[in-house]
Structure 1
Amino acid sequence: MRRMAADDGVESPTRRWWLRARLIEANDGIIAAAGVVEGIAGAGGGDETLLVAGLAIALAGGAAAGGAAYAEAAVEEDAEDALVEDERRRLAEAPDEELAELTAIYERKGLSPRLAREVATELTAHDALAAQLEAEHGLDLAEEEVPAWRSGFAGALAFGLGALIPLAVMELAPPSARVPMTFVVVVVALTITATIAARTADSSVPRAVARTVAIGAGTMLATWAVGTLIGS
């Protein structure tokens, strides 16, 4: 995926978007695995059951998250490639019309007709395709594109690593403290990942943390309660 290039010294929007997506997948892994192991612990499941269930959700969920990330990135790549080819064809067939379209875009942004024409002409002379793609679609050909396979692999890894957090706590904690310790560690982990994700998106950190922690805590409490009822 390509995005508008950031100013010098500012982190690339593509990288920020990519990092935020991976953090969200890690959150999904944490919450999914925490819900499973808390439910099993509530039902009185032993170490072996917890381990098998936790690893299963880490592997299966990771594969699903990675596949979804790959598919989404691949579709985006195909769409952007189609845009590039369409603009290239239109520039070859009707360069004057494309120049007029670019001029109109800069006029709508507030430039005078004369200045808009000068800007459009200079940009077209430098790189007509790049000028059209940036002005019309917000795409920057100079921005490094993240390959779909990398997004898929990173998505699977993020989910899997996230899922290992509650599983590790559940396996390492004393049996009598498993449930509360897992709950606390998961809340802390979700707070950290939600904070970073919110900052990469320049959104409200308190709201992001509150939403994410509420979902995680609610999931753990619900599955623990169901497990306790089943195991009683």
Structure 2
Amino acid sequence: MPHHEMHFLQRSGWLRASVLGANDGIISTASLLMGVAAAGADNSALLVTGVAGLVAGALSMATGEYVSVSSQTDIEQADLAREARELQDNPDSELRELTGIYIARGLSPDLAQQVAQALSHHDSLAAHARDELGLHEVNQAQPLQAALASALAFASGATLPLLTAWLAPHAQVQSWLIFSTLPFLGLLGAVAARAGGASVCKGVSRIVIWGALAMAATALIGHWFGVHA
């Protein structure tokens, strides 16, 4: 039976975009609502602010991810095209370069040359893309996937503080935002850490600390403008 392994690296593309989107959706929307609530806004203003923040943030995340990952894809494609030209114009030189890479990784010169010749005969461009450029289908950039994952994750994350602001008594909206947002941020950090094979404690602590700081900062700014309005 063939042996198959599932590595955490295979999740890096969608996991990064999803965690970043959800994290930003929760923190930015909750912080925005905290600041507006601290300034003395009424329920209608809070809800309009939250919905506007959700839509603008989701579209911004999608655009940013698409542009960023598309730029990465353009660089990868340009490098592959350059490597293809080198293979066509200087195949012997490229074979020596690939052999040198395998020697540097610990193979004997004879074995390195045999491996380089075999892989070049099978698919020379793929061999150079993987071993010279470090490109592999597992970590290949996917602009549309990253954009959609970021937008959906942001909207999902932003929904929590928005619903909290809608359901909470107006006088207690800030307290409700704190006690609903921070535990959910901790849960998100734990899930992301487990999915990525990282430390759960580190994943929870860093996301909760930075989320609390962001909410505190916007609350202070909102309070200051509300007092001095």
TM-score normalised to the size of structure 1? Answer: 0.88
Cα RMSD for the two superposed structures: 2.1
**Equivalent in the alignment of 1:180:** 175
Report the AA paired with residue 221 of structure 1.
A
| 2:8–2:195 CA contact under 8 A, matched in 1 | no
**Equivalent in the alignment of 1:222:** 217
Q: Secondary structure at the match of 1:137?
A: coil
- Write the mapping of 1:80-229 to structure 2, written as runs, cut at 5 A: 80-141=76-137, 143=138, 145=140, 147-229=142-224
| 1:16–1:200 CA contact under 8 A, matched in 2 | no
Aligned mates of 2:152, 2:145 — CA distance in 1: 10
| 1:25–1:158 CA contact under 8 A, matched in 2 | yes
Report the AA paired with residue 62 of structure 1.
A
Aligned mates of 1:204, 1:137 — CA distance in 2: 30
Q: Structure 1 residue 42 and structure 2 residue 38: aligned? A: yes
Unpaired runs of 5+ residues, structure 1, are: 1-6
**Equivalent in the alignment of 2:54:** 58
Compare 83-92 and 106-115 and name the one that shifted more. 83-92
| 1:28–1:162 CA contact under 8 A, matched in 2 | yes
Aligned mates of 1:105, 1:145 — CA distance in 2: 21
Q: Secondary structure at the match of 1:165?
A: helix
How many residue pairs align between the two structures? 225
Compare 219-228 and 65-74 and name the one that shifted more. 219-228
Compare 103-112 and 18-27 and name the one that shifted more. 18-27
Report the AA paired with residue 98 of structure 2.
L
Report the AA paired with residue 56 of structure 1.
A
| 1:37–1:54 CA contact under 8 A, matched in 2 | yes
Q: Secondary structure at the match of 1:181?
A: helix
| 2:13–2:146 CA contact under 8 A, matched in 1 | no
Question: Alpha-carbon deviation of 1:74?
Answer: 0.6
Question: Alpha-carbon deviation of 1:15?
Answer: 3.0
- 1:39–1:63 distance in 2 versus 1, CA, 3 Å: same
Aligned mates of 1:84, 1:12 — CA distance in 2: 26
Aligned mates of 2:217, 2:140 — CA distance in 1: 41
- 1:119–1:72 distance in 2 versus 1, CA, 3 Å: same
Aligned mates of 2:150, 2:46 — CA distance in 1: 24
Report the AA paired with residue 189 of structure 2.
A
Compare 93-102 and 146-155 and name the one that shifted more. 146-155
Aligned mates of 1:144, 1:208 — CA distance in 2: 22
Aligned mates of 1:225, 1:43 — CA distance in 2: 9
Question: Alpha-carbon deviation of 1:231?
Answer: 3.4
